[in-house]
Structure 1
Amino acid sequence: MTRPQPTEASAAEPPSGGRRARGGAEARRAARTKPKIEQLPYITRKIPLTEVLGEEGLELIERNADTILEEVGIEFRDDEEALQLWKDAGADVKGTRVRFPRGLPRSIIQKSAPRQYTQHARNPERNVVIGGNHTVFAPVYGPPFIRSLDEGRRYATIEDFRNFVKLAYMSPAIHHSGGTVCEPVDLPVNKRHLDMVYSHIRYSDKPFMGSVTQPDRAADTVEMARILFGADFVENNTVITSLINANSPMVWDGTMLGALKVYARANQACIVTPFILAGAMSPVTAAGTLAQVLAEVLAGAGTTQLVRPGAPVIFGVFASSISMQSGAPTFGTPEPALVSLAAAQLARRLGIPFRTGGSLCASKIPDAQAAYESAQTLLPTVQAGTNFVLHGAGWLEGGLASGYEKFVMDTDQLGMMQVLAGGIDLSENGQALDAIREVGPGSHYLGCSHTQANFETAFYRSKIADNNSFEQWEAEGALDAAQRANKLWKRMLADYEAPEIDPGVDEALQEFIAKKKAAVPDSNV
């Protein structure tokens, strides 16, 4: 069966925006005189995948998912259009319950959904390819609180939101600006999405995510993208990737379906993600969870293709275990890692990009628990071949808090993962035979020409770890990792300079936001 592949259009650069550019020459001159922000390219993996299921196991999970879809079905609530789309496609619709003939959603997805796509940034140098053997790191998503060593835990504000966007922009191993890096509770619920999307556009030039809390807020995101990139460019290219969560178990609600339809119709990407706390929202077993996850993804991803064939869609999974004593979510445990690794295999068989993982932990502060649990989540994420990694940096307290120190500690680890995924250098320089010949038996490599030539790039240099002597560490204040991270994020924000944006586009965005805000009163729903 033929599948859509990236086209020449996906490599095109966006126009300057929906309005006539003003001040372009001045912006270009200013850009040439400013120091360029270091940025690592998105990962093109050169290491093997870790696969935990063989052919027999994968076929078993797929059969069980089809059984769930056929016998149990999926609820599509508060969305008559979605129900009608599936009815017209051949599903059995009774009330809000949809039951699917075996193989129907899979055939719809495989007929039109792209295996990979380019998400365009307003700076074409920051474009990312999502799918295939590529990995894209994005920040934490969704917490209502922030935490820092200075203030402890408090509700997040729009200033915090801007700070995390700036930190993501300044972090070389973060490839994507993300979405709700924290929830700015100081702004009205019905209007804060405008400031959030604008912050991603104005304070970064990396790709970004859109609002999904109401369909009209998704529509506002698309309209802002049209102002930024131009309507024709958005119609033919993907400039937004957004998170659409299932209401597990086996429910798609009207809010998420509404946002999904807005983005799919506009040719923008949806990350279709069951949100799973195993034991509460799925069975306690990995195999049972995988079957349910696959069923929910097939129903959601299939809906995107019924809305607009060819719209990009990502197979997402957020899977965590819970404490069977308290019911609280737990992270860094082996069972969710197995689910993520196996789900990545299922996504590759389905033929669409995959999202999971990140730097997840239940710890309330950036301590040893946070580090261990995050590492035990991040490493399987990379080993799985995940294409889009949400929550790559900043996650604390089971997703309730975005941590300033945790953010830069995590980005340090993301840089290490970038090196790991690059594999072993087998070039002539990597083989280093000249160095071995020069040094010979019994000497050392410290002064040889090969070592000197590779001095700056030979090994990853952590910005957080302290590798000095005890005496030097003590003389410099005996700081722990979190204290060093505190100094680092403050220095990054002090050094931040906003990327240039066309003044005419910026003006048009601000006019749009002002008009939308003036049209309705403030509301907290």
Structure 2
Amino acid sequence: MNEMVLNRRAGGRAARVAARSAPLAENLRPVRPGLPGGQYKALTDAGIKRIHEAALEALEVIGLSQAPQTGIDAMTKAGAILGEDGRLRFPRALVEDMLAKAARGITLFGRETKYDLDLSGTKVHFGTAGAAVHIVDVEKREYRESTSKDLLQASQLVHHLDNVHFFQRAMVCRDVEDNLLMDMNTLYACCAGTTKHVGTSFSDPSFVGDGFEMLHMIAGGEDKWRARPFVSNSNCFVVPPMKFATESCQTMEHCIREGMPILLLSAGQAGATAPAPLATAIVQAVAECLAGVVYVNSIAPGHPAIFGTWPFVSDLRTGAMSGGSGEQGLLTAGCAQMHQFYGLPGGAAGGMSDSKLPDMQAGWEQGILNVLAGLSGLNMVYESVGMHASLLGFCLESLVLGDDLLGQVQRCVRGIDVTEDSVSIETMRQVCLEGPGHYLGHAQTLELMQTEYIYPAVANRSSPKEWNELGRPDLIQKAIERKNRILADAAPSLIDFEADAAIRARWQIYC
């Protein structure tokens, strides 16, 4: 009898293992890019309308200064008013007109169609971003300057991490001293490592032409680039509070002419470059991004642009940035609601950590912030993985760990499926009245174990006894091992061989 029970248990376990090994269609996976959020609301409907009215008032009364002449010409032609103080002011009717022209339901393309990102509604996507100047060496527990090779490896990892949906430049190539070559190496490293959608920026407007020369080479021609632009421009077009960033605006204008999607990024810091009240920090970010909507659509109506309200938090005891705080999560969630109020594709910062290493502090900060961002229905959650020390450090092992974390976050975003089948008591009846009194090995359990549940790749769920028998595996060590396996198998470059050779002949590539 005992032998029969053991065999039945072994057979059930083998069946479950076999079921898990079978590949799933994309639409059957328990989590996937673009799951709809919106369940969590940090702002009331009245609060949303009040923030909207305050933002319109700020644009009419305060306005923004320091736009380049080309921007002034385009926006005043559309209806903005240039005051004697040099500030552009935006009448309510102008903002409403440009909101009506703004692109909605846009798609950010990957180099492969399976990586396209649908930014309609409350569909949520997680990815990287930032300009960290250090890489976190977890084995030595130290920080060192980040390099082009580090950036390439981060891109390669993202390409193989299912729960990280896009790769925006996460760190600075500190090994490249020439600024033009730094921008070119940044763009190359991002595109060589992944065919997912990429985000990048340019340090000088005069470098944009070189960037598009490289992109046309990667795409196989300008026409192919324009048909499916697979890189977006992360553009800090404002310097909070309420000033345009002149050179970034010139870069933005060039990118618009070249057909590149724009991330309109307003990154004030509450209590420093943005008001200390969380609500007013959102007001300023919304006002600045609404000015960006006017700017973009006065040049090219309907050009794809992401409403990038990206307010950060200060620790008011010191004035230092506090990217992993609960207040940061609230700001991000509130901004997501404002994006939805305007019906515009939106993005904001998500899972940053103030911790210097991938430790417990990093876990709770990244987990809380990403859950709030996902449940709020934020289309693009930037900086969701890998970022430490309030954006100063990027960690490859944390990126790998973040893939597990984001899997759990997306499972929360998906919620509970309540259907006629899922709430039927037939299986309960069979088990309780006719069966063994448990659901292990039941057909329903086997059927749902892949589609209803998600399993971590690195995190350990064994019992203490099993953990001890396995040699007491350490989470960070497991992340190092998975990182090394992915990088060992990664292609040196995902750019066409001839195009890659032409790029290397045209510019000095460091990685």
* TM-score interval (norm. to shorter): 0.7 to 0.9
Q: Does 1:202 align with 2:192?
A: yes
> What is the rounded CA distance, in whole Å, between the counterparts of 1:470 and 1:493 in structure 2?
31
Q: Does 1:133 align with 2:122?
A: yes
Give the counterpart of 1:378 among 365, 370, 381. Answer: 370
For residue 310 of structure 2, what is the amino acid of its counterpart? F
Please state how far the C-alpha of 1:242 moved relative to its aligned partner: 2.0
2:224 aligns with 233
Among the aligned pairs, what percent are the same residue?
A: 24
Q: Secondary structure at the match of 2:262?
A: strand
Give the counterpart of 1:490 among 479, 484, 487. Answer: 484
> What does the per-residue CA deviation read over 1:346-400, in whole Å, with 9 as the maximum and x for residues that have no partner?
2222221010132111111111111111112111110111111111210000000
More deviation, 263-272/123-132: 123-132
Q: Does 1:312 align with 2:304?
A: yes
> What is the rounded CA distance, in whole Å, between the counterparts of 1:121 and 1:513 in structure 2?
24
Please state how far the C-alpha of 1:311 moved relative to its aligned partner: 0.9
Give the counterpart of 2:500 among 488, 500, 506. Answer: 506
Q: Secondary structure at the match of 2:268?
A: strand
**What TM-score do the two structures reach when normalised by structure 1?**
0.84
> What is the rounded CA distance, in whole Å, between the counterparts of 1:108 and 1:360 in structure 2?
33
Q: Does 1:478 align with 2:472?
A: yes
For residues 417-436 of structure 1, what are the structure 2 equivalents within 5 Å?
417-426=409-418, 430-431=422-423, 433-436=425-428
For residue 483 of structure 2, what is the amino acid of its counterpart? W
Please state how far the C-alpha of 1:187 moved relative to its aligned partner: 0.9
For residues 89-238 of structure 1, what are the structure 2 equivalents within 5 Å?
89-93=78-82, 94=84, 96-111=86-101, 113-151=102-140, 152-178=142-168, 180-188=169-177, 189-229=179-219, 230-238=221-229
Q: Does 1:273 align with 2:265?
A: yes
Question: Structure 1 pair 368/296, CA: closer, same or farther in 2 (3 Å)?
Answer: same
> What does the per-residue CA deviation read over 1:121-178, in whole Å, with 9 as the maximum and x for residues that have no partner?
2222222222323222222421010012224210011111111011101101111122
CA contact (8 A) 1:267 1:308 kept: no
Gaps of 5+ in 1: 1-35
> What is the rounded CA distance, in whole Å, between the counterparts of 1:505 and 1:427 in structure 2?
50
Question: Structure 1 pair 156/505, CA: closer, same or farther in 2 (3 Å)?
Answer: same
Q: Does 1:284 align with 2:273?
A: no
For residue 485 of structure 1, what is the amino acid of its counterpart? A
> What does the per-residue CA deviation read over 1:50-69, in whole Å, with 9 as the maximum and x for residues that have no partner?
22333332222122112211
Q: Secondary structure at the match of 1:208?
A: strand
2:57 aligns with 67
> What does the per-residue CA deviation read over 1:96-130, in whole Å, with 9 as the maximum and x for residues that have no partner?
4212222423421322x211212222222222222
CA contact (8 A) 1:83 1:96 kept: no
Gaps of 5+ in 2: 1-22
Q: Secondary structure at the match of 2:311?
A: strand
CA contact (8 A) 1:76 1:83 kept: no
2:287 aligns with 295
RMSD (Å), alpha carbons = 2.6
Q: Secondary structure at the match of 2:143?
A: strand
Q: Secondary structure at the match of 1:185?
A: coil
For residue 233 of structure 2, what is the amino acid of its counterpart? S
Question: Structure 1 pair 201/337, CA: closer, same or farther in 2 (3 Å)?
Answer: closer
> What is the rounded CA distance, in whole Å, between the counterparts of 2:452 and 2:69 in structure 1?
59
Please state how far the C-alpha of 1:239 moved relative to its aligned partner: 2.5
CA contact (8 A) 2:37 2:377 kept: no
CA contact (8 A) 1:126 1:175 kept: yes
Please state how far the C-alpha of 1:458 moved relative to its aligned partner: 4.4
> What does the per-residue CA deviation read over 1:259-297, in whole Å, with 9 as the maximum and x for residues that have no partner?
211222222211112112110011111221121111111
Name the count of aligned residue pairs. 478
Question: Structure 1 pair 293/103, CA: closer, same or farther in 2 (3 Å)?
Answer: farther
Please state how far the C-alpha of 1:453 moved relative to its aligned partner: 3.5
> What does the per-residue CA deviation read over 1:301-350, in whole Å, with 9 as the maximum and x for residues that have no partner?
22111121121111112222212211111134333333222222222222
Question: Structure 1 pair 45/459, CA: closer, same or farther in 2 (3 Å)?
Answer: closer
1:448 aligns with 442
Q: Secondary structure at the match of 1:153?
A: strand
> What is the rounded CA distance, in whole Å, between the counterparts of 1:468 and 1:355 in structure 2?
37
CA contact (8 A) 1:140 1:402 kept: no
> What is the rounded CA distance, in whole Å, between the counterparts of 2:355 and 2:432 in structure 1?
50
> What is the rounded CA distance, in whole Å, between the counterparts of 1:168 and 1:37 in structure 2?
21
CA contact (8 A) 2:37 2:124 kept: no
Question: Structure 1 pair 91/449, CA: closer, same or farther in 2 (3 Å)?
Answer: closer
> What is the rounded CA distance, in whole Å, between the counterparts of 2:328 and 2:388 in structure 1?
17
CA contact (8 A) 2:107 2:119 kept: yes
> What is the rounded CA distance, in whole Å, between the counterparts of 1:492 and 1:432 in structure 2?
42
CA contact (8 A) 1:122 1:228 kept: no
> What is the rounded CA distance, in whole Å, between the counterparts of 1:485 and 1:159 in structure 2?
19
Q: Does 1:362 align with 2:351?
A: no
> What does the per-residue CA deviation read over 1:457-512, in whole Å, with 9 as the maximum and x for residues that have no partner?
54211123212122332343434432322222122212323575433333443344
> What is the rounded CA distance, in whole Å, between the counterparts of 1:132 and 1:55 in structure 2?
17
> What is the rounded CA distance, in whole Å, between the counterparts of 2:143 and 2:409 in structure 1?
29
Q: Secondary structure at the match of 2:234?
A: strand
Q: Secondary structure at the match of 1:272?
A: strand
